[in-house]
Structure 1
Amino acid sequence: MKRFLLLLLAIGVLAACKSKKKSGKGDEPMTFEDFQALFTPGNLPYKLTPDTLQLKLADSLSLDTAAIKFLPDTLTKGDFTRNEPVKYFPLQRIPGSVVDYMTVKAAGRAQSVGYLCFLDKKGKYMSRIRVANTGSADGTLMSLQIDSKNVIKISSEKRLSGSRSALREDFYMVNADGTVTLIMTNSNGPTNAGQIFNPIDTLPRKHKFSGDYTSGDMSIVSIRDGEDAKSFQFFITFSKDNGSCKGELSGKGHYLAGNRGEYKDKESSCGISFQFSAGRVNIREIGGCGAYRGIKCFFEGGFVKKAEKKKKK
């Protein structure tokens, strides 16, 4: 009987030690397996909304420095004041097709922010993006949705006058190195003629075909240098029929013989053909790109190259 009681006591002590280690509050060094166990397992599709971030979590669930070492010191850079106390809470860990995901909540004095962290298949942290919040200084709310095909949608909604609001939806694909590529943007917010957000605008444009090709105020084909002379990066956005039909697509293409270029989407049948000539580019779809545009319009037509502004000496 005495041996039996000692055995039960030993099991209880071991269980308590194990629980203490996994809490992130103990003095024992935390392994990545312990850190990962702090997050609730989940699967795609996944959503993270401002309402979820507003839920009060017990302080005992927050991550301590033993757990934070698996995340970078710059996780919340730019979102909170320098000396503001911030508490971090583990939310979910989700396996993806290219990378794995972890979501973290950072709670400050005035707002809570959600971050989507990317880890490779060996558990190494690569990068993060800000995906949700409970309200920024200008009143903008952000939310996250990842569909079953690993397409990331970040929605930003800003209250305007009266009951009006402006909604912007940015769609991204995640790459194996933890970077993301913008593939489409939907917005019902006010836009000014001639003002287009170009995510590749600052990239090099030394190749003879690199530059911006336009057709009207709100349609552009932007070409930038690739990793080598046979590849290029592009961004296409267009608005037709007074804004009733829009499309947006970005990616990496490659040059073919005869002043031609081609892009094929790895996630769908979408493809774009580029035909370059003196100061022009003509594009057309060579596959179904309906996921990136309206139903009644296509990625097609001619665009004229804009003269590049000369830098002042």
Structure 2
Amino acid sequence: MKRYLLLLLTIGVFAACKTKKSGHGGDEPMTLEEFQDQFPVAQLPYKLSPDSLKLSLADSLALDTADIHRFLTDTLTKGDFAKTEKVKFWPLQRMTGNPVDYMVVKASGRSGTVAYLCFMDKKKGHFLKRIRVADAGRNGVFASVQIDNRNVVKLTEEVQNGNNRETQREDFYGVSADGSATLIMTNTSSPSAPGQIFNPLDTLPRKHKFSGDYTSGDLSLVSIRDGEDGKSFQFFITFSKDNGKCKGEVSGKGQYLAGNRGEYKDKETSCGIAFQFSAGRVAIREIGGCGAYRGIKCFFEGNFAKKAEKKKKK
């Protein structure tokens, strides 16, 4: 009888052990729903500052690295931490958005503390892509993120100047259903040489025959770069007229149409821009109201000449 009771007790212990989840010392894999439940739920608008990012979190709340790799990506920290560096992860927030949902993950290691905004598929909850959105001051640079009710993601970069932090750059992104983030607009207070424009697309590939920089005067630029395929392109347009009284700036992804034409339609507003390419030139005109990106008395229009690309030194 005692042997029979001992056998039942042993079976019960083994059964209990199998109900434990991975990441907590068990054998049974954690489900996606259980992984998501570790993230506190919030609603838009959302903001994460460098000071909030630096706040200490209990080790008991940390995410298991194996679960990060399984439900998000094993390259989450790529480019920010050394491969041999031990990094801990914490769940900061989970939000419902449109056209994607969001998960914010804090990562901390010997070299610093950052946060990643992960874009999740709305239907199945699967990971799509991520961007680093916050930094607690590595190398004197502080970064924060805001997501407004329109799902526009704003990244702000600041530098330490004495006891104060000065904003150097603000990047605004729109997010597509596939998780790709498109730069909408950039504000920068970094000093530039007279007649010099900050171009956020400057280092991107330009192998397509229409890719390049087109200018009209010193303060107007249409920058075209390669898209994900031969039918698409990335662009950045900025201009300043009437001694700076009228300015405009917009960026996004366009589609090549038949012939030498291209077109951009903003998903958030009625703004649309038509591109007409010719030998060494591009003409642009608005095909929708783009008042959100320019002054009320000027438009995205005009002819721009292609600049010769500088040859790389061998």
Both proteins in one fold, TM over 0.5: yes
Q: Residues 52 and 311 from structure 1, CA distance in 2 versus in 1: closer, same or farther, beyond 3 angstroms? A: closer
CA distance in 2, matches of 1:74, 1:164: 31
Paired AA for residue 53 in structure 1:
L
SS of residue in 1 equivalent to 2:53: helix
Tell me how far 1:53 sits from its aligned partner. Answer: 0.7
Contact 2:266 2:272 in 1 (8 A): yes
Of the structure 1 ranges 167-176 and 24-33, higher mean CA displacement relative to structure 2 is found in 24-33
Could you say what secondary structure the match of 1:63 adopts?
coil
Q: How far apart are residue 253 of structure 1 and its match?
A: 3.1
Instruction: Please name the residue that 1:306 is paired with.
Output: 307
Could you say which residue in structure 2 is the equivalent of 1:48? 48
| Residue in 1 that maps onto 2:3 | none
Opposite residue 173 of structure 1, the aligned amino acid is: G
Q: Indicate yes or no: 2:271 matched with 1:265.
A: no
The correspondence of residues 156-167 of structure 1 with structure 2, limited to 5 A, is 156-160=157-161, 165-167=166-168
Query: Secondary structure of the residue that 1:60 maps to in structure 2?
Result: helix
Distance 1:109 1:198 in 2: 30
Contact map agreement 1:183 1:292 (CA 8 A) in 2: no
Q: Partner of 2:257: helix, strand, or coil?
A: strand
CA displacement at 1:130 relative to structure 2: 0.4
* Identity value in percent: 63
> 1:264-283 counterparts in 2 under 5 A?
264-283=265-284
- Residues 1:38 and 2:38 aligned together: yes
Structure 2 residues without counterparts, runs of 5 or longer: 1-12
* 1:46 partner amino acid: Y
Structure 1 residues 38 and 101 mapped into 2: Cα distance closer, same or farther (>3 Å)? same
Q: Is the 8 A contact 1:284 1:299 kept in 2?
A: yes
How many equivalent pairs are there? 295
CA RMSD of aligned residues (A): 3.1
Q: 1:164 to 1:120 in 2, by over 3 A?
A: closer
Which deviates more from structure 2 when the two are superposed, residues 148-157 or residues 102-111?
Answer: 102-111
Amino acid at match of 1:275: Q
* Aligned pairs (5 A) from 1:107-126: 107-109=108-110, 111-121=112-122, 122-126=124-128
Instruction: For residue 126 of structure 1, report the CA deviation from its aligned partner.
Output: 1.9
Matching residue's letter, 2:44: L
When residues 78 and 296 of structure 1 are mapped into structure 2, their CA distance, relative to the original with a 3 A threshold, is same
Amino acid at match of 1:96: G
Instruction: Check conservation: 1:96, 1:150, Cα contact below 8 A.
Output: yes
TM-score by length of 2: 0.81
Pairwise CA distance, 1:51: 1.9
TM normalised by structure 1 equals 0.81
Q: Which consecutive unaligned segments of at least 5 residues does structure 1 have? A: 1-12
Question: For the Cα contact (< 8 Å) 2:158–2:165, is it kept in 1?
Answer: no
The 5 Å alignment of 1:3-152 reads 21=21, 24-27=23-26, 28-69=28-69, 70-109=71-110, 111-121=112-122, 122-137=124-139, 139-152=140-153
Cα distance, 1:131 vs structure 2: 0.1
Amino acid paired to 1:304: A
2:248–2:300 Cα contact (<8 Å) kept:
no
